[in-house]
A and B are shown apart, each in its own frame.
Chain A
């Protein structure tokens, strides 16, 4: 089975091992140790780490299309936000009559706007299974239509990047409008519970964190399975010499479309897990700046490695949390400086620093990963590891 092939790869085993050990560690430190203990992980930190893991999954999705297919998407925030909105709509419907206005059917903002009926596209979101399908379907369909038009016309490179940027900007403007029925400027918030569990309890927060960890693991395996398959090698071929690939008989635009849609769906899942943890979704997630930031995470972590994207997303967001706490105004300068420094001195990103655990015997093994980007992952060589002496929970930050 192609999907389980990555499980026999050493780098994937190592990645999953570190991820699960970190999840276990956080759980134990959160549950077993009393509050006030030096090593106790607070519920706040658990949620923060859960947020990082959402970003990590989003970064993996971007790395799949950028690193392996050469499509620099500056609009992946749109897919993330669509997944988030689908989850947000489910959470809004779960509030029921506990809203400020106490309307059993209509969310607060609709009552406020004097709407008397639920718009048609809000139907069905009271059912969790429907919301889960929409989390995958909404970003997937957008990517399918957008990708079909773009790739069929052979739009690539900078032009495609600009169009993806325009896409997310247009969606942001659309979602800002109250008439759209998605809460306008304020978005969707004030959530109460998910699947019957109260979102404000520590247990639910821990559960969401663990669910995000599992989603990241599954997303990583899916991406790795694609990358390690023949299709992954075709993707690299499309990235490096598109015309040549076409002459070999591959339908380049279909390969691009498939990978793009998978990536968009993963981004949607990341968004859906993000929303219950931060408690709000609003149009700012569609902002072009956010989409560019995702690309910066991937570039910092190292393109075309997948685990590099995870490292990049977690490190940059950890740095963001620290920096915006100490010097809020300096953060953007720090991010810019970090980006310049890494591009100049570490063209392969942070992942390029990690030592190669093995030289794979490529070719003898059909499932052998593409060449050049299969060094194993070693957390002890993480440059930021030394910096956070705060608690073992921050070990999570490097996973």
Chain B
């Protein structure tokens, strides 16, 4: 039925005529647009009427207490969870709710998980090779050859994340912090337009945290980066705009100083009566 009703709109290009994997259209500003999204798990509203826009090239931090819906929000953007209501658009052309996980990944949304997951049996170099944006169907993978161009690209990312020296070692030997960087490197190999980074500094030492902050800020501008993080010190060191989530919707948004002085935020973080 929706197909037929669409045909009656003669003033615009029918949706089914636009190629599904066309480039992301950010002429209108936002690269990610979420509106009125609600998800319910067994009666529990994990996300409640969430609306959020991320501009192209922005570095956005998302904070919030446990259970605020941060990870669920990422699940929705990457297609792992489908919302009950609402709309999620990537640029002004791609409706993410109609796309599968691999499609969303190839559109240019990369995600780093809370727990670093790298392929431990493969070398760091091979981990990056698999992550590289390429034709990922079965037969092209079977016949793929490594060109000088791809090697250069992998070496470039290795330098960015500082793992050049270890490139032929199995990823299983890396420390926790190094695995996090390898994950970010794998994201960069996909040349994503939008990076979703879930708790990048969990379990890192001070120095590792500083390097991660440098890495993420250097990425912003070229890519849009969304960071979900608990560590306030870290958020303060990288954030330009901060969004506070609470019980599945946006509680406050602004610079770090603005939100940390917001009475609602103080109440949520410090408890009632504070």
Contacts and interface: CB of A to CB of B under 8 A. Distances in A.
A and B physically associate: yes
Interface of A: 2, 226, 229-231, 233-234, 236-237, 239-241, 243-251, 254-255, 258, 361-364, 366, 370-372
B209 interface: no
Q: Which of the four size classes fits the interface of chain B?
A: 20 to 34
Contacts of B122: 233, 236-237, 370-371
B141 interface: yes
Nearest to A360: B168
Contacts of A244: 113, 117-119
Interface stretch (B29-37, B46-54, B98-106, B217-225): B98-106
A233 B105 contact: no
B157 to A, nearest CB: 13
Contacts of A226: 142
B130 A229 contact: no
B142 A362 contact: no
A250 B126 contact: no
Given A246-B102, A247-B111, A229 B143 contact: yes
B125 A240 contact: no
Contacts of A258: 138
Interface in B172-224: 186, 190
A237 B78 CA distance: 20
Interface in B122-160: 122-123, 125-126, 129-131, 133, 136-138, 141-146
A250 B117 CA distance: 16
Interface of B: 78, 101-102, 105-106, 111, 113, 117-123, 125-126, 129-131, 133, 136-138, 141-146, 167-168, 170, 186, 190
Contacts of B102: 246, 249-251
B126 A248 contact: no
Contacts, number: 96
Given A231-B141, A250-B136, 15 more contacts: A2-B142, A2-B143, A230-B142, A233-B126, A241-B117, A244-B117, A246-B102, A247-B101, A247-B105, A248-B136, A250-B102, A362-B125, A363-B125, A363-B168, A371-B121
A229 B141 contact: yes
B82 to A, nearest CB: 16
Nearest to B131: A248
Nearest to A235: B141
Nearest to A255: B138
Task: Tell me which of A237, A249, A254, A363 has the highest count of chain B C-beta atoms within 10 A of its own C-beta.
Answer: A249
Given A236-B121, A246-B101, A372-B170, A251 B138 contact: yes
A258 B138 CA distance: 8
Contacts of A241: 117-119
A251 B167 contact: no
Contact of B145 (A234, A245, A362, A366): A366
B120 A240 contact: yes
A323 to B, nearest CB: 35
B123 A248 contact: no
Contacts of A231: 138, 141-142, 144
Contacts of B78: 247
Contact of A372 (B105, B121, B143, B144): B121
Contacts of B144: 229-231
A19 to B, nearest CB: 24
Task: Tell me which of A229, A247, A363, A370 has the highest count of chain B C-beta atoms within 10 A of its own C-beta.
Answer: A247
A231 to B, nearest CB: 4
A170 to B, nearest CB: 29
A234 B130 contact: yes
A230 B141 contact: yes
Contacts of A237: 119, 122, 130
Contacts of B126: 233, 362-363, 370-371
11 contacts: A233-B129, A236-B119, A237-B119, A239-B121, A241-B119, A244-B117, A248-B186, A254-B137, A254-B138, A371-B122, A371-B126
